Amino acid sequence: MKATILGASGLLGKALMREWSGDEVVGLGSRDVDIRDADRVREVLQKARPDWIVLAAAYTDVDGCESHPDRAFAVNRDGAVNVAQAAQRIGAKLLFLSSDYVFDGKKTSPYETGDARNPQSVYGRSKAEAEVQLQEVLPECCIARTSWLFGAGGKCFPDTILKLAASRPALDVVSDQRGCPTYSVDLARAIIELCRKDASGIVHVTNAGNCSWFEFAREIVKGAGLATEVRPVSSQQMARPAPRPAYSVLSSKSLQQHGIAMPTWQDALQRYLQERKN
């Protein structure tokens, strides 16, 4: 199998490049191809002619998307459509990375793949609109929704918490938002499996279990052996430009249907802390 990863210099892209063996894999970063440039996308993919394209390139700064909506839609929606059209032209399959932000967070039980999209932020809207348009261009594409991504070698929640905890006696962390932390290594392994199984349709891919940001932070500090106190606060006390879903736990049923099981987020966190130390 030949695979091309777009967004290979990002958190997930790096993990995919490290984890993917036994196939012919090419990784391209934003310096190699800007997915907003349809002609360049077509040219690069025409030359590579992969069996699978994994689209991990995105504008993921959620608050940045609120102030730069044009860029958010140009990259996350229009860029994705450029890739889908190029994939269709060469007969390649596409796996697109999407997000829990396509939901409004008003549910109190895990979101299934068929639940209605109702994004509350610019980032969420850009991803939701991309999903709809991709399924029109490439009905057989695979849309892998994930959430709360963390991993070594980039900016992520555990990295931020550990840096702050190293210099502060106490940290205030939001306790009224629940989701599924997902380790880039485990997400990469699941994506590779999905490609090998010729997956199509929407799949929810996260580590098992769920928690609040406060619970996640407490576990990070404890796992790192730090004495910093972690205190729960409300979302209102920590207002951010982009609204966050209060509850965005994704159901694992769709992943189980492909015979794939993910480790718990606690197990993933321990491995991340070890990887970071090394």
Active site residues: 123
Contacts of 273 (CB under 8 A, 6+ apart): 158, 220, 223, 224
Calculate the CA dihedral of residues 176, 177, 183, 186 and round it to 10 degrees.
120
Contacts of 123 (CB under 8 A, 6+ apart): 59, 60, 61, 62, 65, 66, 72, 76, 99, 101, 242
Instruction: Give the whole-angstrom CA distance, residue 11 versus residue 8.
Output: 8
Which residue carries 């699978």 as its tokens? Answer: 52
Instruction: Give the whole-angstrom CA distance, residue 267 versus residue 278.
Output: 17
